[in-house]
Structure 1
Amino acid sequence: MPEHSKNYKWYILILVILTDMFVIAIPLMGMSVMAREISDNLGLDLVQVGIIWGVGSLPGIFTSLLGGMIGDKAGPKRVLIIGTLLGGLLGMARGLAGSFLSMTMIVILLGAVVPVVLMNSLKTLGEWFPPQQLGLANGAHAMGMALGFMIGSLFSATTFSPLLGGWRNVLIVYGLIGALFSIPWFFTPANSRVSESTGISLSLRKALQHVAGLKSIWLLGFGLFGISGAIQGTLGYLPLYLRNIGWQPIHADGALSAFHTLSLTFVLPIVLLSDRLGSRKRLLLITSLMIAFGLGLLSFVSGGWVWAAVLLSGSVRDAFMAIFQTTVIETDHVGPVYAGTAIGFTMAISGISNAIAPPMGNSLAVLWPGAPFAFWSALSIFGVVCLWMIKEVNRSRNNLIMEIVPVQAET
């Protein structure tokens, strides 16, 4: 890698982190903590809130895969220019919604764009960083996402909403900032070393056939199905749940903020530990079990034990995602060439769970207020089982070589 590329990759990392913070993380958590204000203004019930929170993942089932494939073919830079602009504009449009139907439609459109941005952000890191630094890069990215989640959950409802005149203006400002990130991406050069190696021969159909033939990718996808769906439901329901059982709004939002603060604190040490251990799978299993157990505790504990449950699951959430994304790229016969398609494939599978898990869990609240957490804990256990079945990657073989011709799939 030329010297200028060795230095420029750190600018790319910073741009990727800031992009995903302001296009994805901060607005997402803003919607969660402002759910009560939004529901009161639009006249929504608890199930409708769950639908709005989860329905954005429905188009992601398709666009995660399509966006990753297009990124593999056309290059992530072009996709990120368009994706950040559209994502910002649609984020702004949420602030103009006047009913459950209009909000749902806007969230669906936004949900089609956000996974495309995320897929190509991760592919960009896979292109610019060598194997020995990829875990660090994904860990830094996960830290940025956790910081964005923390900012969105801590300040959106209690600070930004009163300051800007309500939830609508908060979402409009978030969207405007996100759209502006299309400008630096327009002026950012592509990694010519990768584009010259892959841009000619790689077709969308062959990339999909290649990735779909890998058993480990299917298992990783269903593992994320369980974990991501559980987390998606929890993040949307937790502030409402705590408010409904008598917590003050600032404390309810503080619990969600603590979840992301702990995640931000522990993500990099855990990811670096996975580099030192040489075993991604071992830490994937440990972190996913901690998430499952923490969500299970939330289903029946109260008082100070709620904080313990948040500590247990929140401390590893973004570390799990960073290790997961690195594992996908490092999987045999994936590498940077098929990274977008492979990550998109796993995200597409998890998108099904992200769409259905929140309303399904919320509907169980009629049994007892903590029942949704019990459901999401069971869902995450399913994910743990799938991750236990994947084959450990031998990273000493340098699985990130740029294979152009699809090789024989796993059996």
Structure 2
Amino acid sequence: MRPPADLRDRQHSPYRWVILAMVSLSGFVTMGFPIAGLSALLSEIAASLELDLIQIGVIWGVGMVMGIFTTFIGGSLIDHFGTRRSLVFMCLAAGVFGSLRGLAVDFWSLLLFSLLYGTLQPVLPLNFIKLNREWFASRQLGLAAGIMSLGFALGAMMGSGFSATLLSPLLGGWRAVLVAFGLSSIVMAVLWALLHPPVERRPGPGLDLRQLVIKARRVAGFRELQVIALAVFGAVGLMQGIVGYVPTYLRAIGWASVEADSAIPLFFFASLVGVAPISHLSDRLGSRRPVMIFGTSMMSLGALLMFFADGDYWTVMLAMTVGGLCFDSFMAMMGASITEARGLDMALVGSALGFGGMLQNLGGSLLPPLGNTLSVISLNAPFLLWAAAGVFATGALLSYRGRGRK
């Protein structure tokens, strides 16, 4: 299958399915598997480098913190250089910086390499979302976003399950696994260079600080983008809090390690099952907003069930299923909705996604530790804060009555 001779006709070309397959594969290889894989390897890394719990938390959270500062700039660079050049460079650089983590000898060297990797890792998904918007019309964009998120979700589930138990013994330890993650990203850079058709670019103004400020003011002025960004702030904060706290909480109330560790994989499995059909539902409805509202409501309900579960096994499993069912579909709809915002030019899509990414990473960095501080009151109190974050996200979406898709 060949790319279309005229890229202006790409939304009608069969080659768009090749691009979508690459987007989903990239989400699996460069995002889902290595991020979840790192979480599974943290105990082995900590033992090797003699890290304490605080240092482990810093290494785990540094990417999201860096994303607060890099996503808008990265999104603007995607707009300026185009998705092809941005993807090739970012996959290549992320592969190199990600591999360097395998050479770390102590906390500080690991932190340095993680900071370098963290400047790029939060920006990579913005490329994938913009590519979907370039190659798919609104009538199929929900399905495309769902298939993209399917790659993320499948990678997260497999990365958390196989990185420590299979890959580490097979390759000889955590260092080799991190290097393998990096090399896989470099392979994706080569594939994008070969398969993404070159785009003739028109001369335009250079990208400097003044242009960044102008873009920031333009995208921040979109009421629709403000609402979506506030919603994703609450939803991602809820998810990060739940995923990080639940295993520790369940052990603290007396669950065995095997049972405690089974809760979060169920959360991700439910999300994996729901992502494609729920995302495609938005195409059938002609609107993303009802699907997003349903998603944030389900996440809030899951957190609330955890608050009232009191350690009951089946209630906890129900909470994880309910809370996880819509997460990846919500994230897919978030990206699609930003790219479809009324009046938003394609030349500003990356900047708009970066604006949403700032709030996403801020919520993911701020709300989990804020919830954890409530554990001194009661071990289940953090779930009440995260449920409130989901209600906040739902309220933000309800506050704006925008149009459906064209």
TM-score where L is the length of structure 2: 0.88
Q: Is the 8 A contact 1:138 1:326 kept in 2?
A: yes
Is 1:65 matched up with 2:72? yes
Query: In the alignment, which residue of structure 2 is the partner of 1:233?
Result: 241
The residue identity in structure 2 corresponding to 1:13 is: L
Shift of 1:335: 5.0
Is 1:324 matched up with 2:334? yes
Q: CA RMSD in A?
A: 2.5
Query: In the alignment, which residue of structure 2 is the partner of 1:339?
Result: 349
Is 1:254 matched up with 2:240? no
The residue identity in structure 1 corresponding to 2:114 is: V
Among residues 83, 103, 123, which one is paired with 2:90 in the alignment?
83
Among residues 201, 207, 212, which one is paired with 2:215 in the alignment?
207
Q: Is the 8 A contact 2:10 2:16 kept in 1?
A: no
Shift of 1:348: 1.1
The residue identity in structure 1 corresponding to 2:348 is: Y
The residue identity in structure 2 corresponding to 1:292 is: S
Shift of 1:14: 1.0
Shift of 1:18: 1.1
Q: Is the 8 A contact 1:223 1:387 kept in 2?
A: yes
Q: Within 5 Å, give how 1:87-106 maps onto structure 2.
A: 87-106=94-113
| Aligned residue-pair number | 393
Using a 3 Å threshold, how does the CA distance of structure 1 residues 48 and 386 change in structure 2: closer, same or farther?
farther
Query: In the alignment, which residue of structure 2 is the partner of 1:273?
Result: 281
Is 1:218 matched up with 2:226? yes
Using a 3 Å threshold, how does the CA distance of structure 1 residues 90 and 372 change in structure 2: closer, same or farther?
farther
Among residues 117, 128, 139, which one is paired with 2:135 in the alignment?
128
Out of 90-99 and 280-289, give the one that drifted further: 90-99
Shift of 1:262: 1.4
Among residues 343, 347, 357, which one is paired with 2:367 in the alignment?
357
The residue identity in structure 2 corresponding to 1:208 is: A
Query: In the alignment, which residue of structure 1 is the partner of 2:4?
Result: none
Q: Is the 8 A contact 1:9 1:129 kept in 2?
A: yes
Query: In the alignment, which residue of structure 1 is the partner of 2:18?
Result: 11
Is 1:314 matched up with 2:321? no
The residue identity in structure 1 corresponding to 2:398 is: W
Tell me, which stretches of 5 or more residues in structure 1 are unaligned? 397-411
Using a 3 Å threshold, how does the CA distance of structure 1 residues 379 and 38 change in structure 2: closer, same or farther?
farther
Task: Give the whole-Å Cα distance in 1 for the aligned partners of 2:105 and 2:24.
Answer: 32
Shift of 1:51: 2.9
Give CA-to-partner distance per residue, 1:273-312, whole Å, 9 cap, x none.
1111123111211110111221232245222222111100
Q: Is the 8 A contact 2:11 2:136 kept in 1?
A: no
The residue identity in structure 2 corresponding to 1:361 is: G
Task: Give the whole-Å Cα distance in 1 for the aligned partners of 2:400 and 2:47.
Answer: 45
Task: Give the whole-Å Cα distance in 2 for the aligned partners of 1:114 and 1:393.
Answer: 32
Using a 3 Å threshold, how does the CA distance of structure 1 residues 142 and 115 change in structure 2: closer, same or farther?
same
Shift of 1:377: 2.4
TM-score where L is the length of structure 1: 0.87
Task: Give the whole-Å Cα distance in 2 for the aligned partners of 1:298 and 1:341.
Answer: 37
Query: In the alignment, which residue of structure 2 is the partner of 1:163?
Result: 170
Percent identical pairs in the alignment equals 37
The residue identity in structure 1 corresponding to 2:45 is: I
Q: Within 5 Å, give how 1:285-296 maps onto structure 2.
A: 285-296=293-304
Give CA-to-partner distance per residue, 1:147-182, whole Å, 9 cap, x none.
111111121223223333333332222222122211
Query: In the alignment, which residue of structure 2 is the partner of 1:27?
Result: 34
Using a 3 Å threshold, how does the CA distance of structure 1 residues 391 and 129 change in structure 2: closer, same or farther?
same
Among residues 160, 167, 188, which one is paired with 1:153 in the alignment?
160
1:58 aligned counterpart, secondary structure = helix
Using a 3 Å threshold, how does the CA distance of structure 1 residues 247 and 95 change in structure 2: closer, same or farther?
farther
Is 1:143 matched up with 2:158? no
Query: In the alignment, which residue of structure 2 is the partner of 1:370?
Result: 380
Shift of 1:220: 1.2
Q: Is the 8 A contact 1:74 1:199 kept in 2?
A: no
Task: Give the whole-Å Cα distance in 2 for the aligned partners of 1:199 and 1:327.
Answer: 29
Tell me, which stretches of 5 or more residues in structure 2 are unaligned? 1-7
Using a 3 Å threshold, how does the CA distance of structure 1 residues 43 and 381 change in structure 2: closer, same or farther?
farther
Task: Give the whole-Å Cα distance in 2 for the aligned partners of 1:236 and 1:90.
Answer: 25
Give CA-to-partner distance per residue, 1:107-160, whole Å, 9 cap, x none.
222221012211111111111112211111111101111111111112122322
Using a 3 Å threshold, how does the CA distance of structure 1 residues 380 and 181 change in structure 2: closer, same or farther?
same
The residue identity in structure 2 corresponding to 1:103 is: L
